[in-house]
Amino acid sequence: LEAPSATDPFEAAIAEAERGIELIQAGQSSVDLRPVGSAIRRYQHQMVRQANLVSHSYGKEPNRYVRIFSASRDN
């Protein structure tokens, strides 16, 4: 089996979401991920929820992106 390619858009977006989650857990207030398609954004939102954090999508297609926040963030 081949290791996931860094050029695979799905794998790259998942790795970026994992890094973003780690940054929020380390105390950063918010992290903006790169724009990706709706199916990948949906998966990123699921990852964020599983980490007990909050995320929202911003922007218009094709530049829509996910922003990750701490769950304790004041809205």
Domains of the chain with CATH codes:
9-69 (3.30.1370.50)
The residue among 60, 58, 56, 39 whose CA lies nearest residue 69 is 56
For position 12, what pLDDT does the model report?
A: 96
Distant-in-sequence contacts of 34-40, Cβ < 8 A, 24+ apart: 34/65, 35/59, 35/62, 35/63, 35/64, 35/65, 36/9, 36/65, 36/66, 37/9, 37/62, 38/64, 40/9, 40/10, 40/13, 40/14
pLDDT tens profile 9-63: 999 999 999 999 999 999 999 999 999 999 999 999 999 999 999 999 999 999 9
For position 71, what pLDDT does the model report?
A: 85
pLDDT range class, residue 75, cuts 50, 70, 90: very low
